[in-house]
A = this chain, B = another copy of it.
């Protein structure tokens, strides 16, 4: 499971990109509300993402967050590495420090292909590609605990 920061970052970025596609620049309060995350915490996380260089921001009236037009897409893999640190993607698929074909753990044989699928997924998919998918579909709002959300709760690949 990802830590919350990764979860909120992932959801937040996809939401921001989705709004960008509609020529909008959402702010922290809007983002937090739409992705169902704590507002102040969301603000802090978005700040970090800006410092990472993943995202641009503008202060003042009409300000908000947006992706720089020229930049290449941000893969999930890069985002996850940034927010999760060494926790994730530590060589072997299991988080084992020392597990490979020569020193396999008893799960190695069966998990290796799964691991590869995951690697493929997170390196091929990007924040932008996910936002595009949502943009094209325009999902109907769903209700959770008396709140309505139109934005899909993207993304917590966990186990």
Chain A interfacial positions (CB closer than 8 Å to B): 1-2, 7, 14, 80, 84, 87-89, 93-99, 103-107, 110-111, 113-115, 117-118, 121-122, 125, 129-131, 133-134, 139, 142, 144, 152-159
CA of A97 to CA of B156, assembled, Å: 10
Q: Using known A-B contacts A1-B95, A144-B97, determine if residue A159 contacts B89 with beta carbons closer than 8 Å.
A: yes
| B156 pairs with A94, CB closer than 8 A | yes
CA of A110 to CA of B139, assembled, Å: 18
- Of A89, A110, A129, most buried by chain B (CB within 10 Å of CB) is A110
CA of A115 to CA of B103, assembled, Å: 26
| A106 pairs with B1, CB closer than 8 A | no
Nearest Cβ on chain B to A154's Cβ, whole angstroms: 5
CA of A96 to CA of B14, assembled, Å: 15
| B121 pairs with A111, CB closer than 8 A | yes
